[in-house]
Structure 1
Amino acid sequence: MVSQSSSVLAFDLGASSGRAIVGRLDSETGQVTIEEIHRFSNDPVKVGNHLHWDILRLFHEIKQGILQTKHLGYTDIESLAIDSWAVDFGLLAANGELLGNPYHYRDHQTDGVMEKVIDIVGREKLYAKTGLQFLQFNSIFQLYAIKERNPALLEQADTLLMIPDLLRYFLTEEKHSEYTNATTTQLLNATTQTWDSELLEKLALPGDLLLTPVLSGTRVGALTKEICEELDVAAIPVIAVGEHDTASAVVAVPALEEDFAFLSCGTWSLLGTETKEPVLSEQALAWNFTNEGGVYGTNRLLKNIMGLWLIQECKRTWDKEGKNSSFAELVKLAEKAMPFQSFIDPDDDMFLNPVHMPKQVQQYCRDTNQAIPQTEGEIIRCVMESLALKYRFILERTEQLSGKSFKGLHIVGGGIQNELLCQFTSNATQREVWAGPVEGSALGNLVVQWIALGYIANLREARKLIRNSFPVKTYIPEDRAGWQEAYVTFCQVASRLTVK
């Protein structure tokens, strides 16, 4: 499998932080080791009524990561790659300059836009074409919002680049669109795997902004002469990996079986399975599942779940109030709280971007005539139990849509550090949970680079390599009767689940 040792560099950007990680593939041990070189916050910036990504700060931090890699003695980096969250993009003018800071997916410019687009195209037709879950912040709705609100911006634009594409362009001065991220826009046809010209024409959106996507594993340039001189580094090749971080995370699922269910657990939770083809059935549309392109010809049938954002926002609110509990302390408080007192639907729109998340949790419970959680521990317990129960709900629907049966659930990503949530998930799903590795997206990024460089043969071999290199913790279901009763109550309380 491995003819020699190799070092590559992954930049993994999440909605709250980013990191630069060096991966080392050792020819003697046949294992991967990783070292975090640089970590930085990713803080959205509100200007007036709009929320933006600080894209130039992110580019600066990427350059700092390259610099730190050199300072730490990694002079043999063979390539680098970037993965990030989906849907958001930047617009370039004809001269290659950026036209403003990219909008954040939680910006309110898309409020009400999804309904307008559905009225024009039709819900069934839009799903049949793209196979994508309807979320108000999808790229198609962002682009249509700009067309309505600021058409002059689109008139000035020459190229649309998703966030990793844009940062790669800053590094290489080469413009490329990567396939897995392109599939999250709701503008790419799921069957033809090309931009849907009929859809673009119907919405009067400028299709000439969109570049033909390249497949994951494609070399897409090298560091520019200017960056090499600025940082005093070599012209490191840049590779387009599975640039949607979920695509990279699923690459890193250490599954030895062909059919498996995964949960990529972070700010967002994404639960689903790999399929050979998109699932575009009436039931998939009714349940609002998504089909996203994966690496090497795979399709990800999955559902977005609000995830740890709920806990992060509770903590942020309490920090502003001077309480300053750590995440670990909040989990301990939740562990001590009384179980099964109240539940929320984590995906209710009221939790998308509230001013005060704890009050929103309380309001949901009030509106559904449940006990209202009062303390930090009670609120966090309510959120965590609800997440675990929602995971069961989506896992069972994934089985029905895919025609597969899963004896357990693989969880990857930073969320596995919350061991109580992992145990709750095992309890709720009443199946084994296999948690690990933590750095799922970064590892998927790294191994696709090694496949592109010829060190690893294929995706199956990459997953075996990860399984042999990183620990996986197994959780066994507990209190089956109590969690079964809780699931029935949860489904009654979260009544909107029946129509999503």
Structure 2
Amino acid sequence: MTQKHHFFALDLGATSGRSIIGRLENGKLELQELTRFPNTILRVQDKYYWNIYALYESLKEGLKTAAAKGIEIDSIGIDTWGVDFAYLAEDGSLINLPRSYRDPYTEGVPEAYFTRLSRQEVYDLTGIQIMNFNSLFQLYAAQREGSFAVRQAKNILFMPDALSYLLTGERYCEYTIASTSQIVNARTQKIDPLLLDVLDISPEVFPEVVMPGTKAGNVMESVARECGIGETPVIAVAGHDTASAVVAVPAEDENFAYLSSGTWSLMGIEVKEPIINEQTFAMNFTNEGGADGTIRFLKNITGMWLLEQCRKEWDKVGKSYSYPEIVALSDSAKPFRSLIDPDDASFANPESMLQAITAYCQRTNQPCPEEDAQFIRCIFDSLALKYKQVLNSLQEVAPFEIKKLHVIGGGSQNKLLNQMTANAIGIPVVAGPSEATAMGNIMIQAMGMGVVGSLQEIRDVIRNSVSPDVFVPTDNAIWSEAFAKFQTIQH
């Protein structure tokens, strides 16, 4: 690994995106951000869409920036959030814009679907947490609307695969992103026809499922010429951003849980086989695909979405808090004054997050936050206690003792919340890398290009490249008392 390699990662979140170069040399990875851009939901006639063409242009701008800096790219990889997808027509063009999972058109749809195939049967096949915005229910919702796109689609491509298609012209279905859909059989790792029979959709509408590290194709000549690059390989990385992030956990052994902390918080463990039984069904845990043949057994938790939406409201009235200011405000407020369940349905996409939090506290007979600091503290306290609740459930079914929690992603930089989480869960929290998704994306490219050979080798590189912070639990009695209160306010 003495030769220097340059890998280009497009990392797309639900609110913003970035293009990044990863330089890999002598067993160490360094990142360089090239571009950063917003990713906004378009609301058109009360339907919510992603502007995939704007994302594609941003992808090309990143490639042009790399070319302008004289960087010769070895390969390209794309990761995004889960579940959303694009429809392709017979002639290969996109049919409309991809619908956003934030669109309320799926409300009540799972219950309607379960009249055709039961909730238990769907979970037994997929091992996926039942969430109304899963791709399976989006397709059913589209059918119920009489969608032209779903009737006419020659192919359906998940978001990273659709962007890769625009670059290469090649169609494929990357395993980790497909596994979020609730259409993939957890045991066969293939699209399950029974789930689509209910929708009268042929499984052939989805291209072949490929594993992370597969070479998808080369950038088309016309696009390469426009961007000033060669006909560079595109690697099907772990297309789901959390799957890429988990690749970059700097773990030395298997006795860990991870928390990918961003707009969503995803807490789980890495296992060799799916865990699907009555207990995991009752807990609504999910079995998503991982790199190198692993399963990410996890729970989706509403994360920094709560804070991000509050910040938007504060920005509108001229209060733009930096992240250090937010942490300082939280630290200044009285702990455990008000608590919420971050996963309550009222927080999914309210017109006002501040009002939704206030209403929740009123419904549960708690003091309502009145100052910005109190809202922030309420969110942080509640997230830490929710993490304890989910970790407790994980430990009940994990085939090993969980000795550490690795916090990765942007939330790993929040030292106050990391310490609060350690206090709540009672085991050490190892925080970092914050750039886990980009690092995982890049290292899967390295594996696809033959530069590294395994997931453990990838993690050796990550450990050699970062210096995580470690938070040791304190104040156990105080947090145990707070957790008891937290459990009483859930409904």
Give 1:3 shift. 4.7
Q: Alpha-carbon deviations, 1:417-465, whole Å to 9, x = none?
A: 2211111111111111000001111100011111111111210011011
The verdict on how the C-alpha distance between 1:184 and 1:15 changes in structure 2, with shifts beyond 3 A counting, is same
Q: How many residues align?
A: 491
CA distance in 1 between counterparts of 2:437 and 2:410 reads 10
Give 1:352 shift. 0.4
Match of 1:462? 458
In structure 2, the residue corresponding to 1:208 is in which secondary structure? Answer: helix
Match of 1:257? 253
Match of 1:40? 37
CA distance in 1 between counterparts of 2:79 and 2:318 reads 34
Q: Report if the CA contact (8 A) 1:3-1:455 is conserved.
A: no
1:10 aligns with 2:9: yes
Q: What amino acid is aligned across from residue 4 of structure 1 in structure 2? A: Q
1:446 aligns with 2:442: yes
CA distance in 2 between counterparts of 1:182 and 1:38 reads 27
Q: Report if the CA contact (8 A) 2:123-2:281 is conserved.
A: yes
CA distance in 1 between counterparts of 2:293 and 2:229 reads 35
1:217 aligns with 2:213: yes
Listed as ranges, the gaps of 5+ residues in structure 1 are: none
Match of 2:70? 73
Q: Report if the CA contact (8 A) 2:212-2:291 is conserved.
A: yes
In structure 2, the residue corresponding to 1:184 is in which secondary structure? Answer: helix
Q: Report if the CA contact (8 A) 2:193-2:202 is conserved.
A: no
Q: Report if the CA contact (8 A) 1:52-1:104 is conserved.
A: yes
Q: Report if the CA contact (8 A) 2:413-2:432 is conserved.
A: no
1:350 aligns with 2:346: yes
CA distance in 2 between counterparts of 1:305 and 1:127 reads 18
CA distance in 2 between counterparts of 1:140 and 1:393 reads 28
Q: What amino acid is aligned across from residue 483 of structure 2 in structure 1? A: Y
Q: Report if the CA contact (8 A) 1:223-1:235 is conserved.
A: yes
Between 1:397-406 and 1:219-228, the stretch displaced more is 397-406
In structure 2, the residue corresponding to 1:146 is in which secondary structure? Answer: helix
CA distance in 2 between counterparts of 1:120 and 1:331 reads 48
CA distance in 2 between counterparts of 1:45 and 1:155 reads 23
Matches within 5 A, 1:58-457: 58-74=55-71, 76-457=72-453
Give 1:150 shift. 2.3
In structure 2, the residue corresponding to 1:183 is in which secondary structure? Answer: helix
Q: What amino acid is aligned across from residue 37 of structure 2 in structure 1? A: F
Query: CA-atom RMSD, angstroms?
Result: 1.1
Q: Alpha-carbon deviations, 1:92-115, whole Å to 9, x = none?
A: 101011111111101011111111
In structure 1, the residue corresponding to 2:78 is in which secondary structure? Answer: strand
Q: Report if the CA contact (8 A) 1:342-1:373 is conserved.
A: yes
In structure 2, the residue corresponding to 1:371 is in which secondary structure? Answer: coil
CA distance in 2 between counterparts of 1:267 and 1:464 reads 28
CA distance in 1 between counterparts of 2:127 and 2:334 reads 41
CA distance in 2 between counterparts of 1:284 and 1:390 reads 17
Listed as ranges, the gaps of 5+ residues in structure 2 are: none
Match of 1:23? 22
Give 1:202 shift. 2.6
Q: Alpha-carbon deviations, 1:242-273, whole Å to 9, x = none?
A: 00001100000000112310000000000000
TM-score (norm: length of structure 2): 0.98
CA distance in 2 between counterparts of 1:20 and 1:345 reads 34
TM-score (norm: length of structure 1): 0.97
CA distance in 1 between counterparts of 2:357 and 2:293 reads 40
Moved segments of 4+, more than 3 Å: none
Q: Report if the CA contact (8 A) 2:237-2:441 is conserved.
A: yes
Q: Report if the CA contact (8 A) 2:340-2:378 is conserved.
A: yes
CA distance in 1 between counterparts of 2:148 and 2:204 reads 16
Q: Report if the CA contact (8 A) 1:220-1:238 is conserved.
A: yes
1:479 aligns with 2:485: no
CA distance in 1 between counterparts of 2:7 and 2:252 reads 25
Between 1:30-39 and 1:384-393, the stretch displaced more is 30-39
Q: Report if the CA contact (8 A) 2:2-2:25 is conserved.
A: no
Q: What amino acid is aligned across from residue 17 of structure 2 in structure 1? A: G
CA distance in 2 between counterparts of 1:484 and 1:65 reads 48
Percent identity of equivalent pairs: 44
Q: Report if the CA contact (8 A) 2:4-2:23 is conserved.
A: yes
CA distance in 2 between counterparts of 1:325 and 1:16 reads 18
Q: Report if the CA contact (8 A) 1:120-1:203 is conserved.
A: no
Q: Report if the CA contact (8 A) 1:263-1:410 is conserved.
A: yes
Q: Report if the CA contact (8 A) 2:409-2:432 is conserved.
A: yes
Q: What amino acid is aligned across from residue 83 of structure 1 in structure 2? A: D
CA distance in 1 between counterparts of 2:459 and 2:321 reads 37
CA distance in 2 between counterparts of 1:151 and 1:441 reads 34
In structure 1, the residue corresponding to 2:314 is in which secondary structure? Answer: helix
Give 1:367 shift. 0.3
In structure 2, the residue corresponding to 1:77 is in which secondary structure? Answer: coil
Q: Report if the CA contact (8 A) 2:443-2:458 is conserved.
A: yes
Q: Report if the CA contact (8 A) 2:96-2:149 is conserved.
A: no
1:51 aligns with 2:48: yes
Q: Report if the CA contact (8 A) 2:237-2:244 is conserved.
A: yes
Q: What amino acid is aligned across from residue 48 of structure 2 in structure 1? A: L
Q: What amino acid is aligned across from residue 434 of structure 2 in structure 1? A: V
Q: What amino acid is aligned across from residue 41 of structure 2 in structure 1? A: P
Q: What amino acid is aligned across from residue 410 of structure 1 in structure 2? A: H
CA distance in 1 between counterparts of 2:489 and 2:401 reads 27
CA distance in 1 between counterparts of 2:400 and 2:339 reads 29
